[in-house]
Amino acid sequence: MKKFLKELEMELKMLKMNNKDIDEILEDHKEMIDAAIDEGLNETEIEEKFGNPKNVAKELSKDTKESKKSVVINVENSDSCVKDNTSKYDLVEAFPVISGKITVEIGLVSENLSITTYEGESIQVFQRGVKEIKEYDILFENNVLLLKKKAKIKLFNFSSNDAKFLVLVPSNVELDGFNYKSVSGDANINGILTTKFNIKNTSGDIEITNIVAKDIKVSAVSGEIVMTGFKGESFEISTISGDIEAEKGVISGSMYFHSVSGDIDVEEIECEEATLKTISGDLEGKEFYPKKITLKSISGDIIIRNSDESREIDVINKKTVSGDIVIS
Amino acid sequence: MNAQFKRGIVELCVLSELILEDMYGYKIINNISKEIDVNENTIYPILRRLTKEEYFTTYLVESDQGAPRKYYKVTEKGFNYYMELRESWDQFIGGVYEILNKGGKKNEEILKRIGDGIKNAKNE
């Protein structure tokens, strides 16, 4: 079986894979072939099990190419994001916005999404790596922008899907609602001004920046959520096991955190009232200034470290088995 | 079989093997190739990719026979991913079964139609 390893090495080198990967792959194969020999397989049986090194090399190089394609979008500055990135995408649709408030409805499965406001006149939808654009509803009707994967049996959506959408919304347009739903896609959402802001996600990671909304609702099962810069009247965030980070926010009403085991980190946030309901997740706050605070937990804690001691935090309710509230 | 279709199914098989216990690479390949017609060429790249995507972690265990073996272990992310795939799969396979056999209720009728169909084709 030395031949297999030699051939595999050559194939991988020809595909210009980096040396570290090649070493790892060869090591894995050596170990697997040894294991097969230990179990008493003869040469022919091993050849059958291990097939053709060319095929493995081809499959492996596909994956490395796909991972290289992913581009991180810088959402801090939406203008630069647009300039840098639209060239890497293909324009699918552009919709002129006539007047009035619009609603954005996005429903995806594993596709990644970037949505941002920009200095432009029309709503623009771009894609990259989407195999069948027909599988999506992309419409703008009655002031509702719809970007949705058509209902379909999901078998073909196994991983290694690197389809991505980029949506640009004119920054002078006001939104009535922003609804985003996805199973495993990652999302970057930037600069949205809306009445209602709703995010629902199972396992994708979500980055949200510069959001102004009356009601903010974010929920995730296991994906991570990072929010930076938000303003609103009410804020509700829930997670099963994903971690949440929220930074630089002002909420005039109440903030409600619901977590089973995910941890929540908050920094530089002001609100009227904060509630944490959790089994074992902790809430850690730095420069976190709610006027009132409530904890309901089994073992989850609230730990707050603030520098401004003049701003007091009232603990109005604490129901917990072994959790605690520490404010210092 | 359509390559992407096959890859998806094998991915689910790899996850299913590891959900119950941690295993080393060859054992996973052996277990799966015993049941369905795939070999290392399909399975190993999936193992590697899922490890890179943090659905699995690995650790080394000394073996009696010689070199240590790399064991694969499902992470929390992997469990969640398995649940998603499993749900899609169950839905899909349930649907296919319903279409093929009408939920098992019409098996006889289907077989009779096949018999008639072959007879008619012969006569034509």
Q: Look at residue A15 in the predicted model and tell me its pLDDT.
A: 83
Contacts of A222 in chain B (CB under 8 A): 76-77, 80
Name the interface residues of A facing B (CB cutoff 8 Å). Answer: 25, 28-36, 38-39, 48-52, 55-56, 59-60, 62-63, 67, 153-160, 183-184, 202-203, 221-222, 241
Order of strands, sheet of B66-74, starting from the edge strand that comes earlier in the sequence: B23-24, B66-74, B56-63
Query: Chain-wide mean pLDDT for chain B?
Result: 87
Q: What is the pLDDT of residues A215-243, one digit of tens each?
A: 999 998 888 899 998 999 999 999 888 88
Contacts of B91 in chain A (CB under 8 A): 153-154
Q: Which secondary structure element, helix H or strand E, spans residue A72, and what is its range? A: none
Q: What angle do CA B7, B8, B12 make, to 5 degrees?
A: 115
Q: Which among B86, B3, B56, B57 is positioned nearest to A62, based on CA atoms? A: B3
CATH assignment of the domain containing B30:
1.10.10.10
**How distant, in Å, are the alpha carbons of A86, A191, A263, B23, B28 from that of B37?**
43, 50, 44, 20, 14
Q: Look at residue A64 in the predicted model and tell me its pLDDT.
A: 63
Supply the range of the domain harboring residue B110.
3-123
Burial tier of A296 (Cβ tally within 10 Å: 0-12, 13-18, 19+): middle
Find the closest chain A residue to B43 by CA distance.
Answer: A56
Chain A within 8 Å of B25 (Cβ-Cβ)?
Answer: yes
Report the distance separating Cα A77 and Cα A242, nearest Å. Answer: 27
Contacts of B30 in chain A (CB under 8 A): 36, 39, 49
Closest Cα in chain A, distance from residue B47 (Å): 10
Q: What is the pLDDT of residues B61-73, one digit of tens each?
A: 987 767 789 999 9
Q: Provide the sign of the torsion angle of the four alpha carbons B80, B86, B89, B94, taken in this order.
A: negative
**Total domain count, chain B:** 1
A212 Cβ contact list (under 8 Å, min separation 6): A192, A193, A194, A230, A231, A232
Closest Cα in chain B, distance from residue A176 (Å): 32
B37 Cβ contact list (under 8 Å, min separation 6): none
DSSP β-bridge partners for residue A230: A211, A249
Beta strands in chain A, from DSSP E residues, in sequence order: 90-96, 102-107, 112-118, 122-128, 136-141, 144-149, 164-170, 175-182, 187-190, 193-201, 206-220, 225-232, 234-239, 244-251, 254-259, 264-278, 283-297, 302-305, 314-320, 325-327
DSSP β-bridge partners for residue A94: A124
Half-sphere exposure for A210 (CA within 13 Å, toward CB): 14
> Which member of B39, B50, B91 has the closest CB to residue A51?
B39
A310-A311-A317-A320 Cα dihedral, nearest 10 degrees: -80
Res. B27 pLDDT band, cuts 50 70 90 = very high
For the ranges A26-30, A158-162, B55-59, B76-80, which has the lowest average pLDDT?
Answer: A158-162
Q: Look at residue A161 in the predicted model and tell me its pLDDT.
A: 61
Chain A within 8 Å of B58 (Cβ-Cβ)?
Answer: no
ipTM value of the model?
0.78
Report, as ranges of residue numbers, the positions in chain A whose pLDDT lies below 70: 64-85, 152-161
CB contact under 8 A, B76 and A222: yes
Helix (H, G, I), strand (E, B) or coil at A243: coil
- Report helix angle A2-14 to A19-38, nearest 10: 160
What burial letters (b/e) apply to B1-33, b meaning 16+ CB within 10 Å?
A: eeeeeebbbbbbbbbebbeeeebbbbbbbbebb
Segment B9-35 shows an average pLDDT of 94
Helix (H, G, I), strand (E, B) or coil at B53: coil
Q: Look at residue A111 in the predicted model and tell me its pLDDT.
A: 87
